[in-house]
């Protein structure tokens, strides 16, 4: 059974994950109308992934005897000065999500809810990957600079981007 504090904190994280999905969706729309089909496809996939993260939390709350809430969401930014600015905002958002997950882990330990602590470890690992991916993309964008040919190749290649992190590596 979830404590009221844990239930509220998990419901807050459900909103964060839902807003993350909306942010990626807004970025996908912006990229698509700018002709960046690869970036748009990447963002659509990320939006779906964030929604899956939200649903995983919803099911966990309900399975543990709580009541998951669907709440109002803050409207995401829908325009960007450049695709570089868009990815900078994305990185900042992923850092904020990591901080939110870390706070949730802290609360779970304070409440001695080891089941929730264990459940949240997947999110901790996931955020390491999300931040690494955003950082890798920003590094690539900085290498491209103002090169239109580089942007074309980046747009084409981003859908195949995978980032291996220490947290996801298997030592086999």
Mean pLDDT of 4-33: 97
Whether 145 is in a domain gets the answer yes
**Full residue range of the structural domain in which residue 64 is found:** 4-160
Whether 12 is in a domain gets the answer yes
Whether 168 is in a domain gets the answer no
Whether 169 is in a domain gets the answer no
Binding-site annotation, residues for Fe cation? 17, 50, 53, 94, 127
CA distance 61 to 6: 9
Q: What is the pLDDT of residues 31-46, one digit of tens each?
A: 999 999 999 999 999 9
Does position 171 have pLDDT exceeding 50, yes or no?
Answer: no
Which pLDDT score, from 0 to 100, does residue 169 have?
52
CA distance 163 to 148: 24
Mean pLDDT of 128-143: 93
Which pLDDT score, from 0 to 100, does residue 58 have?
98
CA dihedral 16, 20, 22, 26 (to 10 degrees): 150
Output the domain CATH number for residue 90.
1.20.1260.10
Identify whether the C-beta of residue 18 lies closer than 8 Å to the C-beta of residue 138: no
Mean pLDDT of 12-19: 98
Identify whether the C-beta of residue 56 lies closer than 8 Å to the C-beta of residue 37: no
Does position 129 have pLDDT exceeding 90, yes or no?
Answer: yes
Binding-site annotation, residues? 17, 50, 53, 94, 127
Whole-structure pTM over 0.85, yes or no? yes
Contacts of 152 (CB under 8 A, 6+ apart): none
Identify whether the C-beta of residue 154 lies closer than 8 Å to the C-beta of residue 141: yes
Whether 41 is in a domain gets the answer yes
Whether 89 is in a domain gets the answer yes
Which pLDDT score, from 0 to 100, does residue 27 have?
97
Whether 165 is in a domain gets the answer no
Structural domain total, the chain: 1
Contacts of 79 (CB under 8 A, 6+ apart): 30
Whether 67 is in a domain gets the answer yes
């Amino acid at each position: 059974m979830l404590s009221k504090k844990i239930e509220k904190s998990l419901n807050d994280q459900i909103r964060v994950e839902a807003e993350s999905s909306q942010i990626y969706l807004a970025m996908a729309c912006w990229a698509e109308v700018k002709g960046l089909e690869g970036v748009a496809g990447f963002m659509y996939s990320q939006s779906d992934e964030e929604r899956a993260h939200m649903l995983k939390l919803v099911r966990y709350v309900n399975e543990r005897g709580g009541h998951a809430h669907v709440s109002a969401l803050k409207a995401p930014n829908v325009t960007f000065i450049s695709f570089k600015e868009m990815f900078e905002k994305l990185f900042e958002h992923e850092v904020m999500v990591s901080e939110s997950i870390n706070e949730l882990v802290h609360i779970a330990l304070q409440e001695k809810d080891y089941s929730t602590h264990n459940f949240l470890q997947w999110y901790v690992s996931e955020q390491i990957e999300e931040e690494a991916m955003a950082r890798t993309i920003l590094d690539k964008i900085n290498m491209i600079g103002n090169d239109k040919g580089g942007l074309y190749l980046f747009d084409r290649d981003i859908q195949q981007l995978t980032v291996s992190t220490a947290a996801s590596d298997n030592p086999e």
